[in-house]
Structure 1
Amino acid sequence: MAWDEWERLKEQAAGQHPTRLRVDGLPESGGGGGAGTLRHEGGPWTRAAGTAGDLRTSTTTARADLRRSHEGTADGLTGLACLGALKSVLASWDERLGRLRDECGSLEPKLRQVAVILGEVDAEVGNSAEAVTVPGTRRGE
Structure 2
Amino acid sequence: MAWDEWDQLKASAASNQPTQMQLNGIPEEDRPNAGNPTGDLTVDQKDLAAIGDEAFKLYNRLWEEARVTSTDTAGSDLKGQGFALGGALSHVSLRWDRQLGSLMDACALISNHMDFTKKAHEGDEIFIERHVSGISTLDAGFDESWAPPGEKNPVYGEDKKEKKD
TM value normalised by structure 2: 0.49
* Alpha-carbon distance in 1 for matches of 2:96, 2:34: 46
- 1:1-141 → structure 2 map (5 Å cutoff): 24-26=34-36, 41-64=44-67, 66-68=68-70, 71-72=73-74, 75=77, 78-133=81-136
Q: Deviations over 1:36-94 (max 9, x none)?
A: xxx85321221121122112111112343x22355446546743322211110001111
Change in 2 beyond 3 A, CA 1:102/1:24: closer
Quote how far apart the aligned CAs of 1:112 are.
0.9
Query: CA separation of 1:26/1:108 partners in 2, compared to 1, >3 Å: closer, same or farther?
Result: closer
More helix by share: 2
What 5-or-longer segments of structure 2 have no aligned partner?
1-32, 147-153, 157-165
Distance 2:78 2:109 in 1: 39
In the alignment, structure 1 segments of 5+ residues that lack a partner are 1-22, 29-38
CA displacement at 1:99 relative to structure 2: 3.3
CA RMSD, 1 decimal = 3.4
Against the structure 1 CA distance between its residues 47 and 105, is the aligned structure 2 distance closer, same or farther, given a 3 Å change threshold?
A: same
Larger Cα Rg: Structure 1 or Structure 2?
A: 2
Q: Highest relative contact order (Cα 8 Å, sep 6+), 1 or 2?
A: 1
Count residues with an aligned counterpart: 106
Map of 1:32 onto structure 2 = none
Tell me, yes or no, if the aligned pair for 2:78 and 2:86 is still in contact at 8 Å. no
